[in-house]
Amino acid sequence: MGSGFANANMEGANFENADVRGAVFSASILRRANLKGANFSGGLLDQADFAKADLSDALLVETILLRSTFDFANIDGADFTDAIMDEGQRKWLCTKAKGTNSKTGVDTRASLECD
């Protein structure tokens, strides 16, 4: 917990079901990474590139996601409860949000406060 991965190129990395609570991924490249079920709670993931990453069932509770990108990312079942993100980013994620997190039982749309 609390690991640092700032400015790292982790394209295609496998963090499936990893416990990376409180970790710093600022300005990191996580394109096409397997992040399924990973617990990023309380982490700093600002300016990260999650393009085509699998974030299904991931925990992003109380994470900082400002200026991160999620182009074509799978967020099915991800829990974004109390995550800090740009309003435009939240609205865009709401257009693709679906599913319920298997660990918290929280609906992805509810965690993003989608209308």
In angstroms, the CA 66 to CA 104 distance is 23
Q: What is the pTM of this model?
A: 0.95
pLDDT in single tens digits along all 115 residues of the chain: 457 888 999 999 999 999 999 999 999 999 999 999 999 999 999 999 999 999 999 999 999 999 999 999 999 999 999 999 999 999 999 999 999 999 999 999 999 999 8
N-term to C-term CA, the chain? 34
